[in-house]
Structure 1
Amino acid sequence: MCGRFTITHPNEALAALFDAVPGNDLPVGPRFNICPTQSVAVVTSDVGQRRLRAMRWGFLPSWYKTPTDGPLIINARSDSIAQKPAFREAVRARRCIVPASGFYEWQTGEDGAKLPWYFTRRDGAPMALAGIWQPWGEVDTVAIVSTEAGPGMQGLHHREALMLEAPDWPLWLGEAGHGAAVLMKPAADGLMQCHRVDRKVNSNRAEGPELIVPLAA
């Protein structure tokens, strides 16, 4: 996790929420099935100025000669991020926030079928997912940081995306000094809600608001 997510909030609303200057190359929304290798909006802090920028979801280490030189890296584990050669410089110097309106997680049904669930914040606000980024050639690439799953994951997976609350954004972005490691913990109990959605989202080609509609009982 996190392997798919949504952005249904407008870019203008995200820029206002994070007090960030929006770029002119941001992907157009709403988007209901964002998949790895696609362009996503990312918040960075550059010399005290936050920016909402487009990046490729799929972190490319500096030694990759092509995007397929190694595994597709979409997540970085919080418990090893500071030691892994691919991530240790990025987690020190290039932390970012990946806004999301919600994300999908799957459970395996009795017949082996993959059953999707859609997670959002209970308050309807965008999620602020912790990320790290890496320039690669002319492309900036990003991975979402994961941590151990909390009770909000409902036992569907042993990992969850690291969600940041607004008071913690300056620390994660490097605006408030050092010590961001203290933020690497599961979301508070009761922060998230989820519901089953149709299996059509299992296809990475599916798109549209019907993907997040609760499945009828």
Structure 2
Amino acid sequence: MCGRYALTVSPEELKEILGIMDLDDFPARYNIAPTQPILVVVSDETREKGSNLPERRAVLVRWGFTPGWVKDPKQFPLLINARAETAIGKASFRAAMRHRRVLVPASGFYEWHRPSKESGERSQAYWIKPRRGGVVAFAGLMETWSSADGSEVDTGAILTTAANAAIAPIHDRMPVVIKPEDFSRWLDCKTQEPRDVADLMRPVEEDFFEAIPVSDKVNKVTNMGADLQERVIVEKPPSPSEKKKPDDGQLSFF
């Protein structure tokens, strides 16, 4: 899964890399958690044919996907991820896969290796970033949920796939990475049906990411500094009783 990530590049870099329209300044975010606003990139359907304007724009959505048919979000599970293998046919994501595919820019993501209780090892957090640096674009889905009083909330989820051989020792899932040459095809929901982009939802090459062990400070959503990504030395794990469960910061959005 992908339950925490970071976006620390400047708006100027993001505009250039992703080819998006004007973007307001935003601070570096080192510990983005579920229910928080996240930046996603969508195809600009208002752009006139032949225009020189960028084809894409950035919007903020709540990280926690809510299908349009849900009556009460408080009674619905928080869907921060969607499995690439089943998203095309699953009721929660079927419409978004066809009409609202997005890119989720990130500098990298965090994952936890959670050994079995019998092993006596403790969980270890990892900062997983592109080996060559820069921005990576995760495949995402977007949905606008409307309440009975007419108010609307834009929501989103990150697609995941089976981990490649490099990430598998840490976790069995990883985000789907969309390469720059495939941005347009992934975002094109007019001519590219879900089955046409199914080939993009596969594990990235084994040497694409590097995993850096980091401290358990990332477990708490209130910790938001650059020090979260500092490498730590992995020593002999303490007893299971000292193992900490990450605080996912599941704050109410509704």
TM-score, structure 1 normalization: 0.93
**Larger strand share, 1 or 2:** 1
Report the 3-state secondary structure (helix = DSSP H, G, I; strand = E; otherwise coil) of the residue aligned with 1:151: coil
Q: Aligned residues: percent identity?
A: 36
Report the 3-state secondary structure (helix = DSSP H, G, I; strand = E; otherwise coil) of the residue aligned with 1:134: strand
Which runs of 5 or more residues in structure 1 are unaligned? Answer: none
RMSD: 1.7
- 8 Å contact kept, 2:101–2:189: no
Which runs of 5 or more residues in structure 2 are unaligned? Answer: 48-54, 147-151, 235-254
Query: 2:69: which partner in 1?
Result: 63
Task: Encode CA deviations 1:126-185: one digit per residue, 9 max, x unaligned.
Answer: 110000100113221110001111123142111110001111111100179421111110
Query: 1:124: which partner in 2?
Result: 133
> Where do residues 43-192 of structure 1 align in structure 2 (5 Å cutoff)?
43-47=41-45, 49-108=55-114, 110-137=119-146, 138-174=152-188, 177-178=191-192, 179-192=196-209
- 8 Å contact kept, 1:12–1:22: no
Give the ranges of 4+ consecutive aligned residues of structure 1 lying more than 4 Å apart after TM superposition. Answer: none
Query: 2:21: which partner in 1?
Result: 21
Rg larger in structure: 2
Distance 1:210 1:129, change over 3 A: same
Counterpart residue identity of residue 167, structure 1:
E
The aligned length equals 215
Distance 1:176 1:166, change over 3 A: farther
Q: Which moved more, 1:11-20 or 1:190-199?
A: 11-20
Report the 3-state secondary structure (helix = DSSP H, G, I; strand = E; otherwise coil) of the residue aligned with 1:153: coil
Task: Encode CA deviations 1:58-108: one digit per residue, 9 max, x unaligned.
Answer: 101112233322110000001110111111110011000000001001012
Counterpart residue identity of residue 31, structure 1:
R
Counterpart residue identity of residue 140, structure 2:
G
TM-score, structure 2 normalization: 0.80
Task: Encode CA deviations 1:16-59: one digit per residue, 9 max, x unaligned.
Answer: 211111455x7x32111100000011000022531011111110
Counterpart residue identity of residue 173, structure 2:
R
